[in-house]
Amino acid sequence: MRIVVAMSGGVDSSVAAAMLATAGHEVIGLSMQLYDQRANPDAFGSCCSLDDLYDARRVANALGIPHYIVNFESEFHDTVVKDFVSEYAAGRTPIPCVRCNSEVKFATLVERARGLDAVAVGTGHYARVAFDEDRRRYLLRRGVDAAKDQSYFLFSLTQEQLARAAFPVGGLTKPEVRAYARRLNLNTADKPDSHEICFVPDGDAGGFVERHLDGDDHTGPIVDSGGRVLGQHRGVHRLTVGQRKGLGLATGVPMYVLRLNPAAREVVVGSREELGGRTLEASSVNWIDGAPPAGSRRATARIRHRHQDAPAVVTPIGSNRASVEFDDPQIAITPGQAVVFYEGDDVLGGGWID
């Protein structure tokens, strides 16, 4: 069976390619060029760099599989970078990895795979795909390694994409993946994981957004929940709900960002107790089954990648919205982040917090 593997140059995708090749599949490695790094080699961090492309090619050579670099610069800029800038400017906190995974990597690679007569797209994600024979539907499940599980980033995958998805490392732990790579003497075996946003290598998301906005004044007041002015901020795009550091306030007690009002260029702050919330609404909801459940459903819901999912009632609103009511208050429910619904290890769906 011919399978295209997205090779990022990291150990996870390297082992994914190796596992599929060892299983007897005809593997073709594809690496994505997301940015013209010849013009600005320092634009990307430790993910998606030229060194990563070279590492992917070395792994492909070691495995004896063909390797190609595909240019996704236009798709990445239009789908991921523009959304990142516009969301921050609107007072929301985006997750570019979700859009990159579903709308760039999977959507585009599935099309490339068809052109290569490949039946599936493999990646190094820590997630699993299964097929429910009774319901004739594909399931998206958490990866076995709870510390590395990436199912949260894949909530928007469709049934068509899941039918063509292969996640070989989803059944392994990270130490097992590295051990597998060492046994094959792959050059990526001990390569550190990447954590920062690839196109914001210095970690200054606010500065990146500002460079892509107009030169107007973005400053405004910082107020408490009663409207009392406490200070000034440099732009709502530099702050996020739940943030405490960097506010420049001398109130004597810790203050956290409660809300961002970009139209008024206003930042509302308050105590940690005021950050708690039990309800949210989400838009652009994708249900893994392909359709929403008939009514409200008990589930667990995760409001950030590093957040523990919590018991809740999820209620569909039409075909692509949902409300979530948690049993207990959740700290810093943040517009722009994803909320993902789980039933045990199975992903039910997810959407974008409004």
For the cut 60, the answer to whether the pLDDT of residue 41 exceeds it is no
Q: What is the pLDDT of residues 227-286, one digit of tens each?
A: 999 999 999 999 999 999 989 888 888 999 999 999 999 999 999 999 999 999 999 999
Can you tell me the mean pLDDT for 13-41?
86
Catalytic pick among 47, 48, 97, 100: 100
Delimit the CATH 2.40.30.10 region(s) of the chain: 275-353
Can you tell me the mean pLDDT for 25-37?
85
Domain 2-183: what homologous superfamily? HUPs (3.40.50.620)
Alpha-carbon distance of 110 to 98, in angstroms, equals: 16
Q: Is 100 a catalytic site residue?
A: yes
Answer whether CATH 2.30.30.280 is correct for domain 217-270: yes
Can you tell me the mean pLDDT for 295-304?
97
Q: What is the pTM of this model?
A: 0.90
Q: Is 47 a catalytic site residue?
A: no
Residues with Cβ within 8 Å of residue 96, at least 6 apart in sequence: 80, 81, 83, 84, 197, 199
Higher pLDDT, 129 or 46: 129
Delimit the CATH 3.40.50.620 region(s) of the chain: 2-183
For the cut 50, the answer to whether the pLDDT of residue 45 exceeds it is no
Alpha-carbon distance of 33 to 124, in angstroms, equals: 17
Q: What is the pLDDT of residues 140-178, one digit of tens each?
A: 999 999 999 999 999 999 999 999 999 999 999 999 999
Fold designation for 275-353: Elongation Factor Tu (Ef-tu); domain 3 (2.40.30)
Q: Of 279, 296, 307, 300, whose CA–CA distance to 350 is shortest?
A: 300
For the cut 70, the answer to whether the pLDDT of residue 46 exceeds it is no
